[in-house]
Structure formats: structure tokens, C-alpha cells
Structure 1
Amino acid sequence: MKSFSFYPGCSQLSSAREYGVSALEVSQKLGLRLNALRGWNCCGASSAHMTNHLLSLALPARNLALAKKTGDDLVVVCAACYHNLRSARARILEDGSLAARVEGILGADPRFEGRIVHLLDAVVEEVGLERLRDMVSRPLEKLRPVSYYGCLMARPREMMDADDPDNPRRMDHLLAALGAEVRPWSYKTDCCGGSLSLTRRDVVAELVNRLFEAAEEAGANCMVTACPMCLANLEMRQSEARLRFKRRHDLPVFFFTELMGLALGLEDCEEWFSRHLVDPRPLLSPYTRA
């Protein structure tokens, strides 16, 4: 069993609890051991940079210092946390004086040189799509998803590990291995406006409406993401987009780990789907208990 250090992230213990639980259960099923960093803290991804730039670096740097002590590569599930940790690591390793300043604040060395890996990549690299396909007990043949990465998971090119920052395909390949009929579209990395969700709802409604229109035009019956902020935004703002643009969107949005758990036959997965604001259970009725 491959072992990783694991950064849970705040959302996975609260608003996106189904993501955190499904990530851990799927990882265990696949033989990936995720060991949560002891004493981890919020990485400040959503707002710290608006308060103090040094704080926005010190928060993720403290988690990097914890990861450095373990000696293992670090797995992350939240796209915003993943982006923030990789950004902080890049700044620290590129600027020795900044690294020394942060070390003085933390009282610990933040120069983590191991890999920071998104769980999606860990599954593809360590488990492999062929083995994953062999483990599927409930092929998701009636699902026609589009993969939605959002704007934080694949860019900038020089900092992230995306197979293609403009058209990443690993999520497509993973969903296809689960039996789904993945629909091609050109909005995988477009922004949903998550950071403006409370301040510019008019802008967000327009962005969300555009994404759902494109997904529906592609023939999708659901969207799949790896970002808790994106999922919350896409679910919450569907009704506003409907009121403003007179278009009814009731497209379920899933975390990729939820569909993995369903396809792999995990018994608890039905509890995850009850937490969604747009109820996905009618779409999933062929795969769940009556």
C-alpha cells in the first residue's frame, strides 16, 4: 500500500464533507494510505492574500514544514489548497531570503522538496486506469459527464502538474474507466466565479449560466469537479442563473471521488449524495438501492 502525507483542507471537514469522506474511503479501497498531517492548519487559500501577503505565505508554509518532517509526498484534494500549497512552495524554494524569513516566523523549515500531488493524479499514477477499470462493480454507463477543473487546478503551466493546462484529460480518462460516457467540451478550465460568489452575484450568475449552457449543449447530464468551491458555487447559483436568463438548469454536480465510490461499490456513497443542493439521486437511481 502506497503511503502519502495528506492535507485534508477546511472545506472537506465542513461544506464539502462528502468530498473528504469519499476521498478517504476511495483511497483505502484502492490501496492508497493517506496519513493526515498532525496539527495542520487552514492554508488561507480563499482570503488570506487579501489581508496580508506574508500571512498568505506563512499559512501554507507551516503545512509544508509539517510535510517535510514526514518525508512522504503530500496528497491534496481541494483544488484551491493544491494551488496555494504549490504556489507557496515555489516562492519559498525560489527565494532564499523569503524562505529564511518564513522559517523565522514559523520556527520550522518550510522548504518541502517532495511532491505535492492532487488525489486525481495519485490515482492515475499509482493505481492506474486499467486496474481501476478492473475494480469497477457498477459501471456508470448512463452518466454523460463533463469534466470541470476550474481555474486553479491546471494553471499556471510552469507551476502545476496538469497533463495539458488548456485541455487536461486525466479526469476524462478516469471517468471513462468508471464506465461513464464522457462528453467533450471546451470549458474545462473556465472560471465559475467562485471567489466573487458573495460580492458580485450578477457576474457569477452569468459565468455559471454559460458553463451550464455549454455542458447541456455538449449532451452532458452531470458535471464532475475536484474543487469544493466550484461545486458549491455551481450548485448554489443555478437558481439565480435560471431567474436572470430564463433558462432552467438542474444539472447535478459531483466530486470525482463520489462517482468513484459509487462505481467501486462502496456502501456509504448514498449518504454523500443527500448533502447536495441539486439532488443527484434521481439521476443515480439505476445504481443505488431502491
Structure 2
Amino acid sequence: MKVGFYPGCSLRGTSREYNESVVALATAFGLELVEIKDWNCCGATAAHSMNKALALSLPARVLALAEQQGLDEIVVPCASCYNRLSVAQYELAHDEALRDRVIEIIGMPYFGGVSILNVIQMIEKYIQKDLAAKIVQPFGRKVACYYGCLLVRPQHVLQFDRLEDPQHMDALMSLIGAEPIDWAYKTECCGAGLSVSRTDLVAKLSGHVLKDADDRGAQAVIVACPMCHSNLDMRRSDINNYLTKPIHTPVLYITQAIGLSIGLRPNELGLQRHFIPVSFN
């Protein structure tokens, strides 16, 4: 089975391990991810607050390329990329004048017919039905499923279940033998793109997330967003300084957790690239 694939900038750079785990998991279930040729940045971070037409043209070009290359459906693992592509598709579908302007900017046809899947939707659609039969090592630990901001908002566009208390990731983790905790920070912000310019704010916001997970006994935090992973993992020393108490809870992508449960090797999933070691011995 082939499906389109948009890795975006993060999966080609700072979140290389996410890309590795997405591809490894897809391959293990017979899913071939076909990368969109000549893709560009989706305009995440500041573009949408500075120039609306440009901010929509960047993701629209990606979608137009997918259409041009005969891809009816694309997997977009990065929550920020998924958000920008989905919002662009929604806005262009509801504003004909804006759509015409964007088509003029990108210089290619755009019809808005590509189906966009985030990584959780990919797992639910193509992997979940065969998952139980492939589990060789249940992920028998308490986990905090952290959705962050961009996977669930805006609700009227993304239509994610239970805006403040989503359950999809929890259900998938339960399938592989984990015990998702009930906690308060599922959809709170980690600080996102302020990681470089205001690391102090990231330490505070991400610190609240990790502290609540740790206080409730989580043995791992599960994410589906490169920025969330980067802030919770790479900025851990800043977080621990803010909290004045070291928290060593590892942060895994959901694709890594599922990969471990079906017997994929840690290096196939990029676990060696984490700042906080992933060890459950």
C-alpha cells in the first residue's frame, strides 16, 4: 500500500529520529510512504502572523504538488505542518477570492482534494487493525499522552475529539499495553517556537507539563509533535533549573513506543538521538 508523505523541515533536521520511527513503523506494516517531490517549508512558526497570502501559499503549494503527483492522501507527521496544511486547505475552501490569489502566487493549479492525515490518523487507518498480532513486548508502563497545541486546534478545522481531553493517543497506547494517566496538561503549550528566543519561557511552560506528568507517576511522556519533543527533551537542563528538581522522565514519539512494542530495534527508531536516555531497565 502506497500513501503520500510530507516530512517537512523538522523531520529532515532536528527531529530526524521522528522520521526514522515513522518510516520504520510504516514499513513494518507494509505501508510505503511516497515523499512529495520538490516539497517546501509549510510556513510554520511566524509566516502566518506576518503575511497571510504567503502563509497560505506555502502549504497550498505542497498540496498542489501532491495533486500534481497523483497523491490523493498524504501523511504529515509533524503536528505544526499538519496544522498549517489543514488550515490552508480549510481557508482556501471557504474563500474563493483568497484561493484565486494563492493559485496566482504559487503558479500552479490547486483543487483542494488531498486528504491530510496526522500520524495518529495514519496509525488508526493503516496499522491499528493489525497491531495486536504484532506485539512482542507490551509497553507496560504508565504514560502521559501529550497532544500539545497544534494537533487539536483550531477545533472547527481539525475536528479532533474532546478538545481539552483528547483520547486517540491514549487508546493507541492502551492497545500496546501502556497505562495512560489522567492528567491536567494534555493540550497545554510547551513554548513551541520560543525555544531559541525565550528559552526561559519554554523552561517554565514545559516544566509545568513535565512536573504534572511526573507528579502523577508517568514513566514516559508520549508525543506526536517535533517541537513538543524538542522542548521537553532538548531543553531538559533549563527545565530542571526552573523546577529546581531534576526530572528524568523520557519523551518518546508514539511511533517509537509502538515500534518498541512490535520488536523494532532502538536504533531503527532513532532512540539513540534523544538527550534524555530512553531506558526502562
Q: In the alignment, residue 153 of structure 1 is paired with which amino acid? A: L
Query: Could you state the TM-score of these two structures normalised by the residue count of structure 2?
Result: 0.94
| Contact 1:22–1:269 under 8 Å retained in 2 | no
CA deviation after TM superposition for structure 1 residue 268, in Å: 5.5
- For 1:211, the aligned partner's letter is V
Which residue in 2 is equivalent to 1:220? 218
Please, which runs of 5 or more residues in structure 1 have no aligned partner? 286-290
- 2:44 aligns with 45
Cα distance in structure 2, aligned partners of 1:127 and 1:35:
17
Equivalent in the alignment of 1:8: 7
Task: Tell me how far 1:197 sits from its aligned partner.
Answer: 1.6
**Which structure has the higher relative contact order (CA within 8 Å, separation 6+)?**
2
SS at match of 1:113: coil
Partner of 2:16: 17
After superposition, give the CA deviation of every residue in 1:218-276 in whole Å (9 maximum; x if it has no partner).
21011010100111011133222222331211111011111111111123646611100
Label 1:248 to 1:64 Cα distance change in 2 as closer, same or farther (>3 A). Answer: same
| Cα distance, 1:271–1:174 mapped onto 2, change above 3 Å | closer
| TM-score, with structure 1 as normaliser | 0.91
Q: Distance in 2 between matches of 1:234 and 1:37?
A: 29
Aligned residue pairs: how many?
Answer: 280
Q: Extract structure 1 runs of 4+ deviating beyond 6 A.
A: none
Q: Which runs of 5+ in 2 are unaligned?
A: none
CA displacement at 1:50 relative to structure 2: 4.4
CA RMSD, Structure 1 to Structure 2 (Å): 1.6
Amino acid across the alignment from 2:101: R
Code of the residue aligned with 1:265 in structure 2: it is G
Matched, 1:116 2:116: yes
Matches for 1:5-154 after TM superposition, within 5 Å: 5-69=4-68, 70-128=70-128, 130-141=129-140, 143-154=141-152
**Alpha-carbon distance in structure 2 between the residues aligned to 1:277 and 1:88:** 34
Q: Given that residues 259 and 269 in structure 2 are in contact (C-alpha distance below 8 angstroms), is that contact kept between their aligned partners in structure 1? A: no
Which amino acid in 2 is paired with 1:44? Answer: G
The aligned counterpart of 1:178 is 176
1:8-50 per-position Cα deviation (integer Å, ceiling 9, x unaligned): 1111111111100110110111222221111111111123234
Letter in 2 for 1:22: S
Compared CA separation, residues 270 and 58, structure 1 to 2 (3 A): closer
**Alpha-carbon separation, structure 2, partners of 1:271 and 1:25:** 7
Contact 1:89 1:112 in 2 (8 A): yes
String of CA shifts for 1:66-104, please: whole Å, max 9, x gaps.
122214112110000000000111111111111111111
Q: Do the aligned residues in 2 keep the contact of 1:103 with 1:109 (CA within 8 Å)?
A: yes
Identity of aligned residues (%): 37
Show the counterpart of 2:274. Answer: 276
| Paired position in structure 1 for 2:188 | 190
Contact residue 60 and residue 89 of structure 2 kept, 8 A: yes
AA aligned opposite 1:120: I
